Amino acid sequence: MFRWIRQTLIVTGLGVRTIPQRLGPSIVAIVGIAGVVVVFVSVLSIGVGFRAALVGAGSPGQAIVMRNGSESEMTSGLTGPETDIIKQAPGIARDGGKLMAASEMYVVIDLNKRSTGTPANVPIRGIEPVSFDLRPDLHVVQGRAIQFGTNEAVVGRAAVRQFSGIDLGAEYVSKQLSLKIVGVFESKGSVAESEIWCDARTLQGAYRRGNSYQSVLAKLDSPAAFQPFKDWLSTNPQLNVTTRLESDYYADQTTVMTGLINGVGYIIAVLMGVAAVFGAILTMYTAVATRTREIATLRALGFNAWSVVLSVLGESLSLAAIGGISGGLLAYLAFNGYETATMNFQTFSQVAFAFAVTPSLLIQGLVYALVMGLVGGFFPAIRAARLPISVALREL
């Protein structure tokens, strides 16, 4: 057993050390595998960044209440009296004498993307003063907060970077809606940074909605308070609402988009991977051809055929590892933190987010590279082991 392991290490070491003698074909294999890994990791990083933006907006200690049957705030609708009843439910936290619940509106407006000039649906959230308290991670970093009872608005940092016409100090005017941008806020990269915030009363008047809202966001006394809170609302004959944890609501908003992105990413990776595998196969056949006499000599000296197989596979895996690491590094440097915006098909509004090349994605990319190297080296390795020693020794 130890003799076989020693033989395998010797033959593998010889193969790896002779890679510089086949530098051209080796570079082709490395570049091909690295290219696949770059595309694979970068596409999947879109889904990871998109999910992080939405999931980061939700808190497991808060509940969101919408019209029963609504999948998102965009399709929900609650009257003012209904929101008042919701705020009477047990389990809502208080901060001093302040009830920690806010009735909020959610509408979209057309703004042009800075990158393309094409129109996009950008969400505006009509808020109440307590809305800021319900999002402790949200901070105004430029300008100031709005004064309620006016047409002032604050915008998310990501929205300012992605869409035109909402810079600090600008005035957005569309039909009956006129908003003066007085501040820019951050919220740890969450989906809130894709929104414009203003007084809910301003939106109600501009859109002639009367006393109506889309949702109620409530902070709970404790996680255990959620079920009694939900039961009270669901059994109240004056209401027809659905109640969910805010964290669950935002997590569900990512399912369609992340599923689509991941599906496309894996399909592209497989298609490109096939080409990369063929490149690896050709490279390893070249390696076997140039090492024919060397392999035959080792076999004649008593080296095991499986040692030869593993040596070829080891060389192939070495090239794949170099390609996988290089591709992952390039993907990280080129795409990690890159900001963009896309449509969330579940809310019909734009979400600004940043690509996220995580350690998990880099590991997936490296594993995929090694799989390509393993497949690419398998058939050349079998050929090397089966080559008759007498024939191999006669080859030049």
Q: Could you give phi then psi for residue 143, rounded to 5 degrees?
A: 70, -140
| Pairing state between β 349-354 and 339-344 | antiparallel
| Pairing state between β 101-112 and 119-127 | antiparallel
Q: How many Å apart are CA 218 and CA 246, to the nearest integer?
A: 9
Q: pLDDT digit string (tens) for 130-140?
A: 999 999 999 99
Residue-level pLDDT at 15: 59
Q: What is the pTM of this model?
A: 0.78
pLDDT band at 1 (very low <50, low <70, confident <90, very high): low
Q: pLDDT digit string (tens) for 243-279?
A: 999 988 888 887 777 887 888 888 888 888 787 777 7
Give 138's DSSP letter.
-
User: Does 11 score more than 60 pLDDT?
Assistant: no
If DSSP codes are grouped into helix, strand and coil, which group holds residue 96? coil
Q: Using the CB atoms, write b or e for 140-179: b if 16+ within 10 Å.
A: eebbebbeeeebbbbbbbbbbebbebbeeeeebeeeebeb
Detail the DSSP E strand segments found in the chain. 62-67, 78-79, 94-95, 98-99, 101-112, 119-127, 139-143, 152-156, 171-174, 177-186, 196-199, 212-213, 215-219, 241-245, 339-344, 349-354
CB 40 within 8 A of CB 267: no
pLDDT band at 282 (very low <50, low <70, confident <90, very high): confident
Q: How many Å apart are CA 292 and CA 394, to the nearest integer?
A: 10
Q: How many Å apart are CA 75 and CA 387, to the nearest integer?
A: 69
